[in-house]
Amino acid sequence: MSAMSDYLELKFLDHFTGTASTSAPSAVYLGLSTGSLADDNSGTELSGNNYTRKAITFASASSGSIASNAAVEFNAATGSWGSISHFGVYDASSSGNLLFHGAFSAAKTIGSGDVLKVASGSLTITAA
């Protein structure tokens, strides 16, 4: 399950009603969390222990959803990241704005030396 952030909902409405001209970000980035990221981005993204967001790409949308089209590999953790259960898609490699958020189908505990890899096609964003 995925959801648009409050930020993206407003940008979408502005764009398609002609209220404001908006452009797509040049790249989007996958962020990780041990808990839910809310529409207002009030959740807590990981930090420290060699964690950084990673660029993610998507195939064209079809049947109301869009799926990642390349694997995303995070840096090896230099300490515990905890149980990774949720993701966010952002418009910048750091800071920036949350665009979409959701939960992985299963949580994965990442300890020191572990590498989290998201397989191509395994992250899907669905329009509701």
pLDDT at 13 over 90: no
Task: Tell whether the model's pLDDT for residue 1 goes beyond 80.
Answer: no
36-81 pLDDT per residue, tens: 999 999 999 999 999 999 999 999 999 989 999 999 999 999 999 9
- Are 67 and 123 in contact by the 8 Å Cβ rule? The answer is yes
- For the chain, what is the mean pLDDT? 94
> For residue 55, which phi and psi values (nearest 5 degrees)?
-60, 140
Q: What is the residue extent of each domain of the chain?
A: 2-14+35-120
Residue by residue, what is the 3-state secondary structure of 50-73?
CCCCEEECECCCECCEEEECCCEE
Decide: 81 and 49 in contact? Cβ < 8 Å.
yes
pLDDT bin (cut points 50, 70, 90) of residue 113 is: very high
Please give the pLDDT value at position 35. 96
